[in-house]
Structure 1
C-alpha cells in the first residue's frame, strides 16, 4: 500500500489537506488581486482530484 492509498482512505488527513488547499488558494488570489481566480480554482480542483480528494463525492463509510 502506497502513501497515496493510505491518504485516500484517511478522511481526517483529506480534510486537513483540503483546508490547507483552500488557504493556499485564498493566498494566491489575494497576492494576484483575483486576476487569475478561475485558473487558480481549476488548478486546485485538478490537484485535489489527482490526490483522490473529490469534494463532490459523498463520504464513504
Structure 2
C-alpha cells in the first residue's frame, strides 16, 4: 500500500527528463520513492512550435 500524500505536504526532489519527443516529470520523496510521475509524448513537429514549458502547464 502506498502512503497518502494528498493531505500532508512533503519535501520532494523533482526530476525532469526532456527529450525530443518525450517529456517526463518524476517527484521523489526523501527515501527516493517515486510519489508522482507524469509523461507527455509529442510529435516532433509540435515540439518546434510549442514551448516545452507549456507542455507541463495544463
**TM-score normalised over the length of structure 2:** 0.28
Structure holding more strand per residue: 2
Q: Normalization by structure 1: what TM-score?
A: 0.27
Give 1 or 2 for the bigger CA radius of gyration: 2
Identify the structure with bigger relative contact order (alpha carbons < 8 Å, sequence gap 6+). Answer: 1
